Amino acid sequence: MRLAKLYFDFLKFGAFTFGGGWSIVAQMQEVYVKREKSITEEELLDITSIGRSLPGTMIGNIAILFGHHMGGFWGGVACMMGMITVPMIILVMITAFYTAFQNNLWVASAMRGVRTAVAPVIVFALAGLFKSAFKFPPCYVVALAMFVVYFFLRVNPVWLVVIGAVLGLVICEFYERGKRDATA
C-alpha cells in the first residue's frame, strides 16, 4: 500500500519535471514537508545535496535516497521506477514519431529551426554553471585545458572526468594546506 503510494507520487513528479531536477525538489517539498510533514526541510536538503554530488541523474538519485528513507530498499526501487515511467513512455512515442517523419519536409524544417536553438540553450545553461565551477584560480586552467583536449585531441570524456576528479583533489589539498599553514 505504502509502496504503491510512493510509486504513484513519483510517477506524478516524473511527469512534471521540465528542464532540470529542481522542479522535483520543489514538488517534494510541497507534498512531504508542507502537506504530509513526513520529512523535515533539513532532511530533504541533505537528500538533495547528496543526490546532486553523486554521479548519475540527480532526480534518480534523489528518488532512491528519499524512497529508502521512507520505505527501505523497496521504497527506493518504487520511487526510482515511478519517476522514470512517464518520461520513458513519452520518449518512446516521440522517438517512434521522429523516426517515421524525420524526412517529411515540414518536420525536417521544424527540426532544423530547433537545432539552431540547441547551442544557445546549452550556452545559457553553461552560464548558470559558471558561478559554482570556479572555486580556485587553477579551475579556469582546468576548464580551458579540458576544452582543448576534448575538442582538438578527441580524448574520451570518461577520462577527462577522471582527470578532473584527480586535479580537484590536488588543487584542494594545495589550497587547504596553504590555509592551514597560514593559520598555524
Partner 1 sequence: MLLLELFWSFVKIGFTSFGGLSMIPLISSEMISHGWMTAHEVSDIVAIAEMTPGPLGLNCATFAGMKAAGILGAFVANMGALSPTYTLCAVAAVFFEHFRDNKRLVQIMTGVRPACVGMVAGVVADLALVNYVEAGNVHWPSVILGVVDLVLLMKFQVSIPKVLMLSAVAGVIMFGVMGL
Residue 183 is a binding residue for partner 1 (CB under 8 A): no
Contact 82, 6 (CB under 8 A): yes
Query: Could you tell me the smallest distance in angstroms from the CB atom of residue 151 to partner 1?
Result: 4
Which residues in the 97-136 window bind partner 1 by CB under 8 A?
A: 98-99, 105-106, 108-127, 129-130, 132-136
Q: What is the CA radius of gyration of the chain?
A: 21
83, 14 in Cβ contact below 8 A? yes
Give least dist CB 33 to partner 1, A.
Answer: 18
Our finding on whether 137 is near partner 1 (CB under 8 A) is: no
Interacting span for partner 1 (CB under 8 A) from 2-10, 33-41, 80-88 = 80-88
Q: Which of 144, 145, 138 is nearest to 169 (CA)?
A: 138
Answer whether 70's CB lies under 8 Å from 6's CB.
yes
Say how far apart CA 10 and CA 12 lie, in whole Å.
Answer: 5
User: Pick from 156, 178, 180, 182: which binds partner 1 (CB under 8 A)?
Assistant: 156
Which residue in 4, 26, 88, 100 binds partner 1 (CB under 8 A)?
88
Residues 12-31 that bind partner 1 (CB under 8 A): 14-21
DSSP letter assigned to residue 102: T
Comparison of 4 and 126: residue with beta carbon closer to partner 1: 126
Q: How many Å apart are CA 105 and CA 111, to the nearest integer?
A: 10
Near partner 1 by CB under 8 A: residue from 25, 28, 61, 78: 61
